[in-house]
Structure 1
Amino acid sequence: MAVALDRAALLVATVGLAGKAYNVPSKLFWDSLLQGHGYVPLVLLVAAGVFGALTPFESHQKRSVLDRNVNIRRRILAGFGQMLEISGNVQPPLETGDLAMHVWRRKRTLRHPLVGVLVRVSTYRMSTYPLNQPFTPQKGVGVVGMCWQSNKETFFDAAPLIDELTTEAQFDAHVEQHGPESVMNLSWRKFRAFNHRTALLATPIRDGRSRFIGCISVDASHGFEVLDCRAVREEMTRLGLVIGQEDFECT
Structure 2
Amino acid sequence: MTAKLLDRLILLAASVSMVARQYDVPDRKFWTGISSGRPYLIVTLICVIGVFGAFTPFQALSERKRVERRSAIRQEILTHYGRMVGLAIRARPPVELQDLGLHVWRIRRSLRHPLHGYLQRVATYRLGSTPTTRTFAPPRGVGVVGLCWERNTEVSVDVGKLAASLTDREAFEAYRASHGAAAVMGLSWTEFQRVRHRGAVFASPVRGATGGFRGCVSVDASHGHDSLDVPDLWHEINSLCSRLGHGGLDDI
Task: After TM superposition, give the deviation of residue 125 of structure 1 in Å.
Answer: 1.0
Cα RMSD, aligned residues only:
2.8
- Corresponding residue of 1:213: 214
Residue 89 of structure 1: CA displacement? 0.9
Q: Deviations over 1:69-99 (max 9, x none)?
A: 2212222222212211211113444334311
Gap regions ≥5 residues in structure 1: none
Q: Answer whether contact 1:89 1:226 (CA < 8 A) is retained.
A: no
- Amino acid of the structure 1 residue aligned with 2:79: A
| Matched residue type, 1:191 | F
Q: 1:190, 1:11 → 2: CA distance?
A: 53
SS in 1 for 2:250: coil
Partner Cα distance (1:159, 1:39) in 2? 75
Q: Which amino acid aligns with 2:187?
A: L
Matched residue SS, 2:249: coil
- Show the counterpart of 1:152: 153
What is aligned with 1:12? 13
Q: 5 Å matches for 1:240-251?
A: 240-246=241-247, 248-251=249-252
Taking the TM superposition and a 5 Å limit, the aligned residue runs for 1:1-251 are: 1=1, 2-128=3-129, 131-175=132-176, 177-246=178-247, 248-251=249-252
Q: Which has the larger radius of gyration?
A: 1
- The two structures have a TM-score, normalised by structure 1, of 0.84
What secondary structure does 1:156 align onto?
strand
- Structure 2 length normalisation: TM-score? 0.83
Secondary structure (helix, strand or coil) at the match of 1:88 reads helix
65-74 or 86-95, larger mean C-alpha shift: 86-95
Structure 1 position 157, deviation (Å): 1.9
Contact 1:86–1:226 (CA under 8 A) maintained in structure 2: no
Residue 10 and residue 108 in structure 1: after superposition, are their counterparts in 2 closer, same or farther (change >3 A)? closer
**Aligned residue type for 2:121:** R
Question: SS in structure 2 opposite 1:66?
Answer: helix
**Equivalent-residue separation in structure 2 for 1:26 and 1:192 (angstroms):** 76
After TM superposition, give the deviation of residue 219 of structure 1 in Å: 0.7
Work out the number of aligned pairs and report it.
251
Whether contact under 8 Å (2:98, 2:130) holds in the other structure is: no
Matched to 2:150, the amino acid is Q
After superposition, the Cα gap between the structure-2 partners of 1:17 and 1:103, relative to the gap in structure 1 and judged at 3 Å, is same
Residue identity matched to 1:57: F
Amino acid at match of 2:156: F
- Compute the displacement of 1:202 (Å): 0.8
Distance 1:156 1:106 in 2: 21
SS at match of 1:105: strand
Once the two structures are overlaid, the 10-residue window that deviates more, 30-39 or 92-101, is 30-39
Mark the runs of 5 or more structure 2 residues left unpaired by the alignment.
none
Per-residue deviation, 1:22? 3.6
Q: Measured at CA, do residues 18 and 118 of structure 1 come closer, stay the same or move farther in structure 2, by a change above 3 Å?
A: closer
Matched residues, percent identical? 41
Between 1:151-160 and 1:125-134, the stretch displaced more is: 125-134
